[in-house]
Structure 1
Amino acid sequence: MKIKSFLAKPFASIVSKNIKKGMVTAVDDQQAILKNLIKTARDTHFGKEHHFDAINTYEEFRDAVPIRDYEAFSPYIHLIKEGKHNVLWKGRPIYFAKTSGTTSGTKYIPITKDSISNHINGARNALLCYMDETGNTAFADGKMIFLSGSPELERVSGIPTGRLSGIVNHHIPRYLRRNQLPEYETNCIEDWETKLNKIVDETLHQNMTLISGIPPWVQMYFDELTKRTGKPVGEIFPNFSVMVYGGVNFEPYKAKLYQSIGRVVDGIETFPASEGFFAFQDSQNEPGLLLNTNSGIFFEFIPEEEIGKPNPKRVSLKDVQKGVNYALIINSNAGLWGYDIGDMVKFVSTAPYRLIVTGRTKHFISAFGEHVIGEEVEYSILKAAAEENVQITEFTVAPYISKDEGKSYHEWFIEFANPPQDLQSFALKVDNYLRQKNIYYDDLISGHILQTLRITPIRKNGFIDYMKSIGKLGGQNKVPRLSNDRKIADVLKQWALEN
């Protein structure tokens, strides 16, 4: 046993024990965080504007601070860009995390001296919990790759600005630097295909033990490795034992990723975003991700049926219920207040508080009143695929609204790694599972208002070519599962196979 894996054992045990203690005190910790957030931000521009000095309870806070998305929050960001201090949090942010919004263009999310540890320690704690539970610390002695954005930062109003993954790259502990790949210069390459080839060059003959990234981009890395060698990834890297992933639901990609590896490896799922590191998989034996309840973020939740209302009902952690879809709202020491991050979650446990991500609040189909969400389409296609031994590379869904009565339907654009023998039969099976999950969709089919869904097969690498065409290949970019219009669908048509 080498020194890093040897020292990791006691450290992992200490951190894991503290996290388990926090499972019991989660609600109290959340209340203490809210109290501290309000106290610290009382004299900021935001705190004065919202009368933080008069807030003593969560109910008073809820009444004083409305829900905002980035568009509504952006005036405060503009004040920071103008050089103002103490706008949302004391002083000025130490970084802006730059990210692309679906409706707001480029977003600039503040990261403060107080909030940076949330991003760093969240990922660390996920690995340490895994080590403590499984006893696998050997991977700490091998090479690790984090498929991420460029660590090069620009300055916006004097504040270092870049992709979150690039910012975090600057805070990787020294003891892991020698284990980290690719090299800094390679990570700075902006063109994804050029960067990918260079990453393969650097890692091909290394002792890779941990690989991390968003699943579709990890798959591209695996494909290039196999293309170069003719071997499965698990043979190229015999000591590869841990895969860390997040950003999208892993399930649609799992079968193909494991096939590319040639065996099953342990997985650690995380729930990071530019706004914070919200949850992580703390156990290989329990479903869901453990909510990060003691890391500078006070969480609120809006039940699905309240989303979009002028004054939606919102609850704190102590009042959440299992099995209910909620929009996730955060208040943090980054200076985000009543902030709607756009993700929907559902608790699978409240003792401790573990959840799954079920979709995006703005990614749904309700062109006909059905309000189909990501969790429902993923369930439907994965269940049908498992029964038919079909493998899915990527997919997205959009409404097709016909001018002729009874001709409208949901159009599914699917790139198959292993297509079904009978596409129409497969489509009907997916449709039936979706009807079981969504009663409104079922009513529309039963009432002959909608036709059953149609599948448009996309040729191999069609989604990659689509992402390239819009300048979003690689990095942290993802194909939306659902759209309520045909902006994506109409462009994707050019990569469709003949039915």
Structure 2
Amino acid sequence: MKIKSFFAKPFALYIYKQVRKSMLTAAADQEHIFQSLIKTGLKTEFGKEHHFEKIKTHEDFVNNVPIREYEDFKKYIEKIKQGKHNILWKGIPIYLAKTSGTTSGIKYIPITKDSIDNHIDTARNALLCYMARSGNSQFSNGKMIFLSGSPELERVGGIPTGRLSGIVNHHIPKYLRTNQMPSFETNCIEDWEEKLNKIVEETVNERMTLISGIPPWVQMYFDALVEKTGKKIKDIFPEFSVMVQGGVNFEPYKAKLLETIGKPIDTIELFPASEGFFAFQDNYKEEGMLLNTDSGIFFEFVPASEVFNKNPTRLTLTDVKLNENYVLIVSNNAGLWAYNIGDTVKFISLNPYRIVVTGRIKHFISAFGEHVIGEEVEGALLKAAENENIKIIEFTVAPKISQDDNKSYHEWYIEFENLPHNLKQFAHDIDENLRKKNIYYDDLIKGNILQPLKIIPVQKNGFISYMRSVGKLGGQNKVPRLSNDRIIADQLQHWAKKPATETITNS
């Protein structure tokens, strides 16, 4: 046994026991965090404006602090960027995490001395819980990679600023530095394809044991390795034993990734964001991620059906129910207050509190009142794909609104690894699955207001080409599953296998 895995095992068991204890005190921990956040926030500009001195209960908080999105925080962020102190949190942030917003352009999310541990420790805890439960400590002796953004930071208002993954890179413990891949120089390359080629060069002959990243970019890395060597990943990296992933739902990518690897492999799902590390898979054998209830974040949950209401219901942890979609609202020790991160989650366990991410609240189709969400389209597609052993590389869905009555429909752009034998039947199966999941969509089909969905097969690497064309190839970028407009769909026409007139339908 190597020295790192030898010492990692007892530490993993210690952390795992601490995580298990926190499961039992989740509600009490949330109340403690809430009170602590309010106490610190009292002395900030935000706290004074929102009468934190009057806030004693969650009800007081709801009455004084409305739910906000990034646009509503911009005036405070601008003051922070000007070097002003005590705006959203005490002092000034130690970092600004730079992230792309669909409506706000570049967003700058504060990370403070108090909140940085949430990002670092949660990633550590996820790996140590896996180690404790699986008994696999040997991966800590090999090389590990996280396909991430550049660790080079700029300064905005004197504050180090960059992608979250780049910021976190600076906090990797020294004892893991020798295990980390790729090199710092390679990680700093901005062009994704150039960076990917260098990563392949640096790792192809290494003892890779852990690989982490957003699934579509991990697949791209694997494809490049296979192209270079002509081998399955299991033969290139025989000691590769665990894959860590997050950022998007893993299931649509799972079959293709596992086929490329060539053997079953343990996977760990994470739910990180610039606004906080919200959850992680504490049990690699069970679905769902443990909500991070004792890490400086106070959670609220808004029923998804109410998110656009002026005064939606705001639930605390003790009020949530199983299998209902909630929009996640966070307040944290970086100075975000009742912040709508835009993700929807569903509890699949209340003891302990485990969630699955079901989509983005802004990513839906409701051009005709159907309000189809990401969880529904992914489920409908995956069920059809599993029945025929079809592997999906990537997909997105948009409405096709016709000026003629009874001619509108949902248009699915799908890049297949292997085409179905009968595309017409495959489209029909997806449509039937979706109708079972969404009664509004079903009613619109029955009423001839919508035509059954249509599939446009996308050329090989079509989505990669699209992402390259819009400057979002690699890093933490991902293709939205659903859009209410046709911006993505119209651009994907350039990589369609057939003209729209030859689209495969289910009718």
- Pick the TM interval, shorter chain: over 0.9
Total equivalences in the alignment: 499
Map 1:388-427 to 2 at 5 A. Answer: 388-427=388-427
Q: Distance in 1 between matches of 2:36 and 2:162?
A: 29
Match of 2:325?
325
- The C-alpha deviation readout for 1:229-276, integer Å capped at 9, x for no partner, is 000001000000000000000000000100100011100000000100
Q: Distance in 2 between matches of 1:478 and 1:104?
A: 17
Q: CA deviation at 1:82?
A: 1.8
1:171 match: secondary structure: coil
- The C-alpha deviation readout for 1:186-212, integer Å capped at 9, x for no partner, is 000000000000000000000000000
Q: Distance in 2 between matches of 1:407 and 1:460?
A: 29
Q: Distance in 1 between matches of 2:421 and 2:202?
A: 40
Are 2:9 and 1:9 aligned? yes
Match of 1:219?
219
Are 2:372 and 1:372 aligned? yes
- The C-alpha deviation readout for 1:418-448, integer Å capped at 9, x for no partner, is 1101111100100000000000000000000
Q: Distance in 2 between matches of 1:473 and 1:420?
A: 28
Q: Distance in 1 between matches of 2:451 and 2:55?
A: 53
Q: Distance in 2 between matches of 1:71 and 1:46?
A: 15
- The C-alpha deviation readout for 1:35-84, integer Å capped at 9, x for no partner, is 00000110100010111111111111111110001111111101111221
Map 1:42-121 to 2 at 5 A. Answer: 42-121=42-121
Map 1:59-208 to 2 at 5 A. Answer: 59-208=59-208
2:382 match: secondary structure: helix
Q: CA deviation at 1:284?
A: 2.0
Match of 1:483?
483
* Amino acid in the other structure paired with 2:90: K
Q: CA deviation at 1:285?
A: 2.6
Map 1:19-38 to 2 at 5 A. Answer: 19-38=19-38
Match of 2:434?
434
Q: Distance in 1 between matches of 2:474 and 2:285?
A: 31
Q: Distance in 1 between matches of 2:276 and 2:32?
A: 18
* Amino acid in the other structure paired with 1:341: I
2:473 match: secondary structure: coil
Map 1:437-476 to 2 at 5 A. Answer: 437-476=437-476
Q: Distance in 2 between matches of 1:8 and 1:366?
A: 50
1:418 match: secondary structure: coil
2:127 match: secondary structure: helix
**4+ long deviations beyond 4 Å:** none
1:420 match: secondary structure: coil
Q: Distance in 2 between matches of 1:417 and 1:435?
A: 25
Q: CA deviation at 1:6?
A: 0.5
Where structure 2 has 5 or more consecutive residues not aligned to the other structure, the ranges are: 503-507
Q: Distance in 2 between matches of 1:236 and 1:406?
A: 53
Q: Distance in 1 between matches of 2:31 and 2:466?
A: 45
Q: CA deviation at 1:123?
A: 0.5
Q: Distance in 2 between matches of 1:408 and 1:272?
A: 37
- The C-alpha deviation readout for 1:280-304, integer Å capped at 9, x for no partner, is 0000232200000000000000001
Where structure 1 has 5 or more consecutive residues not aligned to the other structure, the ranges are: none
2:380 match: secondary structure: helix
Q: Distance in 2 between matches of 1:139 and 1:82?
A: 44
2:99 match: secondary structure: strand
Match of 1:496?
496
Map 1:304-323 to 2 at 5 A. Answer: 304-323=304-323
* Amino acid in the other structure paired with 1:490: D
* Amino acid in the other structure paired with 1:370: E
Q: Distance in 1 between matches of 2:140 and 2:58?
A: 42
Q: Distance in 2 between matches of 1:184 and 1:326?
A: 39
Q: Distance in 2 between matches of 1:494 and 1:398?
A: 16
* Amino acid in the other structure paired with 1:264: P
Q: CA deviation at 1:333?
A: 0.1
2:194 match: secondary structure: helix
Q: CA deviation at 1:488?
A: 0.6
Match of 2:505?
none
Match of 2:275?
275
**Taking structure 1 as the reference length, what is the TM-score of the superposition?**
1.00
* Amino acid in the other structure paired with 1:455: I
Q: Distance in 2 between matches of 1:406 and 1:246?
A: 39
* Amino acid in the other structure paired with 1:470: V
Match of 1:352?
352
State the identity %.
69
Q: Distance in 2 between matches of 1:286 and 1:460?
A: 33
Q: CA deviation at 1:277?
A: 0.3
- The C-alpha deviation readout for 1:393-417, integer Å capped at 9, x for no partner, is 0000000000000000000000000
* Amino acid in the other structure paired with 2:358: T
Match of 2:245?
245
2:417 match: secondary structure: strand
Q: CA deviation at 1:220?
A: 0.4
Alignment RMSD: 0.5
Q: Distance in 1 between matches of 2:409 and 2:355?
A: 32
1:474 match: secondary structure: coil
Q: Distance in 2 between matches of 1:287 and 1:21?
A: 20
Q: Distance in 2 between matches of 1:284 and 1:464?
A: 30
Q: Distance in 2 between matches of 1:455 and 1:197?
A: 33
* Amino acid in the other structure paired with 2:303: P
Q: Distance in 2 between matches of 1:287 and 1:147?
A: 24
